[in-house]
């Protein structure tokens, strides 16, 4: 995958206003894997893009009234069919982790990249999602080598609040895909 000014060349770009600059001289050293489905448990549709761009209609679904006020984003979303959507350039701070701690360090948004997988904690992810996640991760490791040793789930950095990517995410499979590609 090619990068241009922090953007994946082949990803669909949907710029989010919900980001800002990282602290001075801060480079990403952590990759956080998330999941999302809007409405919960439903796939497809425009709702994730709308949430991350601050345009979700609170009247379109009862759940949306609960989240319409949120100012959140991720760097990327990988849809069920493998489409990669990018909302925030990797050198900027997306607002994906919330209150979080990784290896004793707080404010994970400052030093992490957040990738959402369209899914739920209990729905198996697709082959296309694993393939794209591995490809994006390899690209990120090429740019930010420290990420290779610092890949975790949202549940691991915010265990009291979050459960994603959940037990349906096959960590051994994903890590094997990264290892196989680097040999």
Q: 74-86 in b/e burial notation, b at 16+ Cβ within 10 A? A: bbbbbbbeeebbb
42 is catalytic: no
Residue with tokens 């800002």: 20
Cβ atoms of 140 and 181 closer than 8 Å: no
Query: 4, 24, 66, 116: which is the annotated catalytic residue?
Result: 116
Report residue 57 as tokens: 């209609």
Task: Give the span between the Cα atoms of 27 and 143, in whole angstroms.
Answer: 10
Question: Hey, which residues are catalytic here?
Answer: 116
């Amino acid at each position: 995958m090619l990068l241009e000014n922090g953007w994946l060349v082949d990803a669909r770009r949907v710029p989010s206003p919900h980001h800002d600059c990282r602290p001075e001289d801060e480079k990403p050293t952590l990759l956080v894997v998330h999941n999302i489905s809007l409405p919960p448990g439903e796939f497809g549709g425009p709702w994730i893009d709308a949430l991350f761009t601050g345009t979700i209609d609170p009247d379109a679904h009862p759940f949306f009234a609960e989240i319409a006020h949120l100012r959140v984003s991720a760097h990327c979303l990988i849809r069920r069919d493998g489409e990669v959507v990018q909302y925030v350039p990797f050198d900027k701070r997306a607002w994906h982790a919330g209150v979080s701690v990784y290896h004793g360090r707080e404010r994970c948004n400052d030093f992490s990249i957040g990738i959402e997988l369209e899914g739920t904690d209990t729905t198996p992810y697709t082959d296309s999602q694993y393939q794209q996640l591995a490809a994006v991760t390899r690209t990120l490791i090429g740019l930010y080598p420290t990420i290779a040793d610092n890949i975790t789930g949202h549940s691991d950095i915010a265990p009291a609040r979050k459960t994603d990517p959940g037990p349906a995410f096959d960590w051994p499979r994903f890590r094997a895909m990264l290892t196989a590609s680097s040999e």
